[in-house]
Amino acid sequence: MNPGFRLRFLATLLVICMLLPLSPVMAASPSDIADHWAEQAIERWIDLGILKGYPDETIQPDGLIKRAEFASLVNRTFGFAKAEPAGFLDVEEDDWFKEDLDKAKTARYLMGYPDNTVKPEDFITRQEAAVIFARLLDLRYSDG
């Protein structure tokens, strides 16, 4: 993939991810995106199977996105399928997001915290999203 295109794609993804929450249930016909500024992009992402909605068939496009939801979106966007048990202490076997968080750790873009938690229900910060994109793009940085 062209590096310039990939960078533009990921920048667009970051903007949309900060605005669109996800869940494991597909929204058949989201009732809350009509006349939204991102309606066409949201519909395209739904058609591509990247974006899914909540059980009440909403997308909540102006809501915040949780860490587990973000991982789910990244996995579907990049096609990450390999999942080794991550062993996060705050993730149960029956949580809808367990497999996505296992995939995220296996792909080495979401490593969790030093106490072996991942805080899946916390809203992701822009800083955390930037770190994830740096890992996905294998970007190098320095302090000086």
pLDDT in tens, 114-133: 999 999 999 999 999 999 99
On whether the CB atoms of residues 116 and 87 are closer than 8 A, the answer is: yes
CA gap 119, 7 in Å, rounded: 27
Distant-in-sequence, close-in-space partners of 133: CB < 8 Å, separation ≥ 6: 10, 13, 14, 139
Per this entry, what is the length of the chain? 144
pLDDT per position as a tens digit, 78-89: 999 999 999 999
Task: Note the pLDDT of residue 23.
Answer: 40
Position 106 pLDDT exceeds 80: yes
Task: Note the pLDDT of residue 96.
Answer: 95
CA distances from 73 to 17, 35, 48, 76, 142 (A): 8, 23, 12, 5, 28
CA gap 28, 55 in Å, rounded: 10
Number of C-beta neighbours around residue 56 at 10 A: 12
Number of C-beta neighbours around residue 69 at 10 A: 26
Task: Note the pLDDT of residue 140.
Answer: 81
Q: What number is the average pLDDT over the span 21-44?
A: 73
CA gap 18, 62 in Å, rounded: 9
Task: Note the pLDDT of residue 136.
Answer: 94
Task: Note the pLDDT of residue 1.
Answer: 55
Q: What is the mean pLDDT of the chain?
A: 86
Task: Note the pLDDT of residue 29.
Answer: 55
CA gap 37, 14 in Å, rounded: 16
Closest residue by Cα to residue 66 from 129, 2, 120: 120
Residue 107: which pLDDT band, with cuts at 50, 70 and 90? very high
Q: Which of 25-29, 35-39, 43-47, 69-73 has the lowest mean pLDDT?
A: 25-29
Q: Identify the residue with better confidence: 78 or 144.
A: 78
Task: Note the pLDDT of residue 24.
Answer: 42
